[in-house]
Amino acid sequence: MKPMFKYLKWQFVEKPKEITGAIKNFLAFGAYFFSLKQNIVYLFSPWKNITWSSGRGFDPQAIIESAFSNFISRIIGFFLRAFLIAFCLVCDLIVLTLGTALLLAWIFLPLIIILIFASALKYV
C-alpha cells in the first residue's frame, strides 16, 4: 500500500473508527452504570420488590390498604428509576457531544495544524 494512501486511510478511516468505538463503549458503559435496561424493564415495579399482601379471606379494608401500599411502592420505584434513566440519558448526551467534538477535532487536525502555523506567521 502506498504511504499516502496508508496515511489517508489511517487519518480518515482507522482512527475515526477507533474514536467512534470508544464513544460507543462510553455510551454502553453509561447504560450499564445506570442499569438502563433493567430500569426500563422494571420501570413500574415496586421499589426493591417490597409488596404487601392483603392476607387470607375477603377483607376490603386490607385489600385497599395493601393495594395503596403497593401503589406507593411502585410510584417510588418509578420515580427513582425515571430519575436514573434521565440522568443516564443526560450523561450519554454529554459523552456523545464530547465524543463528536473529539472526532471532528481529529478529522480536521491536519487542517488545524496548518491554520495554527499560518496564523502564527502573522505575529512573527
Partner 1 sequence: MFNLKATGQYCLAEKERFFLFLKWLGKLSFIGFIWCLIIVVYRYLNDPGIVAQPLGWGMIFFDIFLLAGYLNIFFDDAKKTSPRKSLKEALEKELNLAPFLNFNSVKYIARALKKNQAPSSSILLYHFLDEKNPKIVFIFSRLLMDIKKLKTEVQKIMNNGTQEEFEKIISEAGNIALKRGYNLIKEGDIISALSETEPTLRQILIDLELRKEDINNLSWWIEAANKKIREARRFWEYENLLRHGSIGRDWAFGYTVGLDKFSIDWTREIETRGFEEIIGHGEEMELAENILSRKGPRNVLIVGNPGTGRNIIVHALIKKSLSGKSTKKLNGKRFIELDLVALASNVDSLEQSEKVIAECLNEAGKAGNVVLIINDFHDFVGGEKKAGLTDVSSILLPYLSNSAFPTICITNYEGLHKHIEKKPELMKLFEKVEVKELTPEETMFIIENKVFGLEHEYNKFISYPALKEIIRLSDKYIPYSFPLKAITLLKDAFAFSDKYAGDQIILAEHVDQIVCAKTQIPVGKIRSKEKETLLNLENILKKRIVSQEEAIKEISSALRRARSGIQNRKGPMGSFLFLGPTGVGKTETAKALAEAYFGSEERMIRLDMSEFQRIDDIPRLIGGETQEGILTTKVREDPFSLVLLDEIEKAHPDILNLFLQVLDEGYVNDNMGRKVNFGSTIIIATSNAGYQIILDALKNKKDIPEIKKELLDYIFKNGTFRPEFINRFDGVVVFRSLSREDLIKITQLQLEKMQKTLSEKHIELKITEELKKKIVELSYDPVFGAREIKRKIQDKIENVIARALLEDKIKNGGKIQIDPNTFEIIIL
- Nearest distance from residue 58's CB to partner 1, in Å? 26
Q: Give the nearest distance from C-beta 119 to partner 1 in angstroms.
A: 7
Name residues whose C-beta falls within 8 Å of residue 40's C-beta, 6 or more positions apart in sequence. Answer: 81, 85
Contact (Cβ atoms closer than 8 angstroms) between residue 106 and residue 19: yes
Q: Which residues of this protein are in contact with partner 1, per CB under 8 A?
A: 1, 3, 6-7, 10-11, 14-15, 22, 25-26, 28-29, 32-35, 38-39, 41-42, 45, 47-50, 77, 80-81, 84, 109-110, 113, 116-117, 119-124
> At closest approach, how far in Å is the CB of 70 from partner 1?
14
Residue closer to partner 1 (CB basis): 68 or 87: 87
